[in-house]
Structure 1
Amino acid sequence: MKIDITGLSDIVLFVDSFYAKVQKDELIGPIFNNVIRDWQPHLEKMYMFWNAALFGVPGFKGNPFAKHAPLPLELRHFERWVLLFDETIDELFEGEMAIDAKKRAGLMASMFLNRFESMKGGADKVVV
């Protein structure tokens, strides 16, 4: 029987498992592997991010969107990211916090995608 996400040790487990999948994924792996040479600092930042997001523990500092904005990401990349994230959570956990983690990841992906779309120019947009 699976347990729910209860603290930092569970966050480390799902973050490590998730990003191991990301690194090997044929669609999004190359994008992230091209910009992240040393994964450990990124993983440690993600432990703090998810600890803050799920449990309100202070300590995360950063602007995640600013780090992703230069990347060549499209809808299909966000869909794969969410698929891998949800798959990882479902493999490891079940419960309210696991559901919340998946919901937050989906919302973050939607927000990032919307911001990516708004950055693109077009006849009805002025990019300054």
Structure 2
Amino acid sequence: MKKEIEDMEDIKVFVDDFYTRVRQDELIGPIFMEKISDWRPHLDKMYAFWNAALFGVPGFRGNPFARHAPLKIDRPHFERWLELFYTTIDTRFEGFIADDAKKRAALMADLFLSRLQQLNGNSDRVIF
């Protein structure tokens, strides 16, 4: 039975499930696997990110765009990322916060893609 995303435990469930799907994906999996050798710090950062994004809880530090700017990624990668994210959320969750998570993911994907296209392959202009 689906439920609302209510707290950090629910965030951990969807983040863990999502990144399991990502690692198994033939399009975006290799990109992640090449850059991340120890998944624990990345997952911990993603828990904090989504806790801040969805519930306003302080604790996330970082510049997500700067980490993605040097990667060779484009529209198909973001489309797959969103597809996996939506599938993950829709499989386990429903309600306002679940919908908000999907909206925020879509906004982030659009923003990252737009900024990457503006950089035109020159990630040296990104402030880390």
TM exceeds 0.5? Answer: yes
What is the identity, as a one-letter code, of the residue corresponding to 1:31? I
What is the identity, as a one-letter code, of the residue corresponding to 2:117? E
Q: Which residue of 2 aligns with 1:69?
A: 69
Q: How does 1:45-64 map to 2 (within 5 A)?
A: 45-64=45-64
User: What residue ranges of structure 1 are gaps of 5+ in the alignment?
Assistant: 122-126
Deviation digits for residues 74-109 of structure 1, max 9, x if unmatched?
Answer: 100000000000000000100000000000000000
For these two proteins, the number of residue pairs brought into alignment is: 122
What is the identity, as a one-letter code, of the residue corresponding to 2:81? W
What is the identity, as a one-letter code, of the residue corresponding to 2:80? R
> Which TM-score applies when normalising by structure 2?
0.93
Q: Secondary structure at the match of 1:113?
A: helix
Q: How does 1:1-128 map to 2 (within 5 A)?
A: 1-120=1-120
Q: Structure 2 CA distance, aligned partners of 1:44 and 1:24?
A: 20
Q: RMSD value over aligned CA atoms?
A: 1.0
Q: What percentage of residue pairs aligned between the two structures are identical?
A: 62
1:2 shift after superposition? 1.1
Q: Structure 1 CA distance, aligned partners of 2:43 and 2:6?
A: 18
Q: Structure 2 CA distance, aligned partners of 1:27 and 1:98?
A: 25
User: What residue ranges of structure 2 are gaps of 5+ in the alignment?
Assistant: none
Q: Structure 2 CA distance, aligned partners of 1:68 and 1:39?
A: 16
Question: Radius of gyration: which is bigger?
Answer: 1
Deviation digits for residues 37-96 of structure 1, max 9, x if unmatched?
Answer: 011100000000000000000000000000011110010000000000000000010000
Q: Structure 2 CA distance, aligned partners of 1:97 and 1:32?
A: 26
What is the identity, as a one-letter code, of the residue corresponding to 1:120? N
